[in-house]
Chains A and B, each alone.
Chain A
Amino acid sequence: MNAAPLLALNNVSKLFGGVHALSGVSCAVPRGKIIGVIGPNGAGKTTMFNVITGAFPADDGTVLLDGRAITRERPHRIARAGISRTFQNIRLFGSMTVWEHLLVAQPHAEAGLRRLLPTSWADPAALRRAEEVLEFFGLQNVRDRIARSLPYGLERKVEMARAVTARPKLLLLDEPVAGMNHEEADEIRRLMLQLREGGLSILLIEHDMAFVMNLCDDLYVLDFGVIIAQGRPEEVRVNPVVLDAYLGRAA
Chain B
Amino acid sequence: MSTYDAGLLADAGILLLGALSVYIILATGQLSLGNAGFMGIGAYITSYLTVIVGVPVTAALLLAGLASGIIGVVAGFPALRLRGIYLAMATLGFGEMVRSFFLNFDAVGGAGGFHGMTHISVGYIWAWAIGILLLVMVLERSRVWLEMRAVHDDETVAGLLGLNTTVTKVAAFGAGAAVAAISGGLFAHHHVYIEPGNFGFERSIDFVLAVILGGSTVAPGALVGAMLLVLLPEMLRFISDWRLAAFGTLLIVVLLVRRQGILDRSLFQWTKLRSRPT
Measuring CB to CB, which residues of chain A are less than 8 angstroms from any residue of chain B? Answer: 53, 55, 74-76, 79-80, 84-85, 87, 91, 93-97, 99-100, 103-108, 111, 115-120, 122-123, 126-127, 130-131, 134, 140, 143-144, 162, 166
B138 part of interface (Cβ distance < 8 Å): yes
A-B contact pairs, 20 of them (CB 8 A): A76-B164, A79-B160, A93-B149, A93-B153, A97-B272, A99-B273, A99-B274, A100-B149, A103-B143, A104-B149, A104-B161, A106-B143, A108-B162, A108-B163, A116-B143, A119-B143, A131-B275, A134-B275, A143-B275, A144-B272
CB neighbours of B142 from chain A (8 A): 115-119, 122
CA distance A87 to B160 in the complex (A): 11
Given the known interface contacts A75-B159, A97-B272, the answer about A120 and B141 at a Cβ–Cβ threshold of 8 Å is: yes
Cα A44 to Cα B49 with chains together (Å) = 61
Q: List 4 A-B pairs, minimum CB-CB distance, nearest first.
A: A79-B162, A118-B141, A93-B153, A115-B143
- The answer, yes or no, to whether B157 is at the interface (CB within 8 Å) is yes
By beta carbon, the residue of chain B nearest A79 is B162
Within 8 A of A (CB), among B152-200: 152-154, 156-157, 159-165
How far is it, in angstroms, between the C-alpha of A105 and the C-alpha of B161 when the chains are bound? 6
Pick from A95, A99, A115, A118: contact of B153, CB under 8 Å? A95
**CB within 8 A of B143: which of A74, A85, A111?**
A111
Whether, in the assembled complex, B277 has its beta carbon less than 8 Å from a beta carbon of chain A, the answer is yes
A119 to B140, CA, bound (A): 10
Cβ contact within 8 Å between B159 and A93: no
* A120 proximity list for chain B (CB < 8 A): 141, 273-274
Tell me the complex Cα distance, A117–B152, Å. Answer: 20
**Chain B CB within 10 Å — which of A76, A100, A103, A107 has the most?**
A76
| CB under 8 Å from chain A, chain B span 9-44 | none
B153 and A96 within 8 A (CB): yes
If the complex has contacts A79-B159, A100-B273, are A126 and B265 also in contact, measured as CB distance less than 8 A? no
Is B228 in the interface zone, CB < 8 Å from A? no
List residues of chain B with CB under 8 Å of any chain A CB. Answer: 138-139, 141-144, 146-147, 149-150, 152-154, 156-157, 159-165, 217, 265, 272-275, 277-278
Which residues in A have their C-beta under 8 angstroms from that of B265? Answer: 95
User: CA–CA, A99 to B273, complex, Å?
Assistant: 8
Which residues of chain B are near A80, meaning CB under 8 Å? 162
Q: Is the CB–CB distance between A76 and B162 below 8 Å?
A: yes
Residues of B within 8 A of A140 (CB): 277
Q: Given A74-B159, A108-B163, 9 other A-B contacts at CB below 8 A? A: A76-B165, A80-B162, A93-B149, A93-B150, A96-B153, A103-B143, A104-B146, A106-B143, A140-B277
> When A85-B160, A95-B153, A95-B217 are in contact, do A104 and B274 touch as well, CB less than 8 Å?
no
Q: Which residues of B contact A143 (CB under 8 A)?
A: 274-275, 277
A94 neighbours in B (Cβ, 8 Å): 153-154
**Cα distance A79–B154 when bound, in Å?**
16
Does the CB pair B273–A131 fall under 8 Å? no
Q: B152 contacts which chain A residues (CB < 8 A)?
A: 95
